[in-house]
Amino acid sequence: MSYTIALNFEDGVTRFIGCKEGETVLDAAYRQKVNLPMDCSDGVCGTCKGHCEQGEFDMGDEYLEEALSDEEAAEGQVLTCQMVPSSDCVIQVPVASSLCKTQVGKIEGTLAVVEQLSEDSIELAVDLDEGAELAFLPGQYIHIDVPGGEGHRSYSFSSKPGERRATFLIRNIPNGVMSGYLTRQAKVGDRLSLTGPLGSFYLREITRPVLMLAGGTGLAPFLSMLEQLAEKGSDQPMHLIYGVNKDDHLVKVDALDAFAEKLPTFTYSTVVVDEASQHPRKGYVTHHMDAEVLHDGDIDVYLCGPPPMVDAVLKHFDAEGIVPQSFHYEKFTPNQAPGEAS
Ligand SMILES: Cc1cc2nc3c(=O)[nH]c(=O)nc-3n(C[C@H](O)[C@H](O)[C@H](O)COP(=O)(O)OP(=O)(O)OC[C@H]3O[C@@H](n4cnc5c(N)ncnc54)[C@H](O)[C@@H]3O)c2cc1C
Ligand code: FES
């Protein structure tokens, strides 16, 4: 029996390692050439401290209170030199990946599908090379090099982890470099280089109602999360509010319907900004967060979209005094201008 441990480093890099039954995370990492911080490896110094976000494990009782206090343990802090997982786990490691002599993975693939779903969005599917390992947490993103050497762009996976075909939902930005490649040059068979996975915007264990807020192609990470949830199931209510600027920017509604059918606790609503729209819900996602989806703040909120939309939602929560149990967000911040480091 082996468990998959996601190690999330401070610089946003995630490395996945296998951990054998009875093995400590520190030993498993070392075996796979990831040198996690350590000093004593005996539960004495506290150097290997991290935070376990998900998963079951045993810490034993051999470590010292000075290395990990009861209070820290109750908050989910762990000593990786003592921690023996009994399920898959996600651990935050409070140092950069380079300090652990590991780095972000590089993967090659072949463009399998490029389809303009609307004036505003493009679907891209990449078949990863045979043997290329691509583990990620639903919600995370990857860098895709722009063919022709113009740097890279970041894209959230819309597919679930573990598939050889990775998919992405990409906004078509007039005069955008990647947008230009995808709409004018890209063809099936093109080779693409990807680097990742990255990011701390990923689905945590669901223990209370969830509110998902998506703006435009910010829907992508939610499709990935919902793919996984549809497989695993959940008893908790989950509601997605998906906002776009114009009617024909609404895409993947059939996929959302399919998720709602598979996941009885999942509901969603769509919102359109355009004043000329005949859509039943108009305005911004913040106009449609009814009390029944806010559960008096006893919710985990996931928010993703372009920076102005994310900022507006954060401001709204603040102004209304809504304090959710947890708040996770991803801003689709544009790349630096060509010439700047990217
Ligand atoms: C963590 C992360 C995840 C991301 N995931 C996704 C994703 O899943 N789907 C997706 O569509 N995008 C995503 N993005 C944004 C994406 O990386 C690119 O910035 C975007 O696709 C534009 O690339 P481009 O080469 O077409 O345009 P560029 O050549 O980079 O930009 C052209 C011009 O458009 C402006 N611009 C760029 N983006 C926007 C925007 N959103 N709104 C208005 N003006 C803009 C730029 O400032 C520039 O002036 C993500 C960004 C980050 C940081
Ligand atoms: S390395 Fe010293 S407590 Fe883990």
Domain residue spans of the chain: 2-100, 105-198, 210-341
Question: Which CATH number is correct for 2-100, 2.40.50.1070, 1.10.1740.10, 1.10.4080.10, 3.10.20.30?
Answer: 3.10.20.30
What is the residue-level pLDDT of the chain in tens, covering all 342 positions? Answer: 899 999 999 988 999 999 999 999 999 999 998 999 988 888 988 999 999 999 999 999 999 999 999 999 999 999 999 999 999 999 999 999 888 887 778 899 999 999 999 999 999 999 999 877 678 999 999 999 999 877 999 999 999 988 999 999 999 999 999 999 999 999 999 999 999 888 889 998 899 999 999 999 999 999 999 999 999 899 999 999 999 999 999 999 999 999 999 999 999 999 999 999 999 999 999 999 999 999 999 999 999 999 999 999 999 999 999 999 999 999 999 875 443 433
Which of 124, 126, 153 is the best mutation target for the ligand 1 pocket, counting ligand atoms within 8 Å of the beta carbon and taking the most?
153
Contact 47, 95 (CB under 8 A): no
Identify any residues that bridge with 169 across adjacent strands, giving them in sequence order: 123
> At the top level of CATH, which class does the domain 105-198 belong to?
mainly beta
DSSP 8-class letter at 11: T
Cβ 141 under 6 angstroms from ligand 1: yes
Report pLDDT digits (tens) over 71-107: 999 999 999 999 999 999 999 999 998 888 877 788 9
Q: What is the mean pLDDT of the chain?
A: 92
With beta carbons less than 8 A apart as the criterion, state whether 90 and 55 touch.
yes
| Pocket flag, ligand 2, residue 40 (CB < 6 Å) | yes
pTM: 0.87
Looking from the CA of 246 toward its CB, the CA atoms found within 13 Å total 6
CA of 16 to the centre of ligand 2 (A): 21
Q: Give the number of other Cβ atoms within 10 Å of residue 308's Cβ.
A: 10
Measured at the CA of 200, the angle between CA 32 and CA 115, to 5 degrees, comes to 100
285, 293 contact by CB (below 8 A): no
Q: Hey, which CATH number is domain 210-341, 3.20.20.10, 3.40.50.80, 2.120.10.30, 3.30.70.270?
A: 3.40.50.80
CB distance 249 to ligand 1 below 6 Å:
no
Chain centroid to CA 217: 14
Structure tokens at 83: 């921690």
Distance of CA 237 to the CA centre of its chain: 20
State how beta strands 2-9 and 89-93 pair: parallel
Strands 84-85 and 57-58: antiparallel
Helix (H) or strand (E) holding 225: helix 220-232
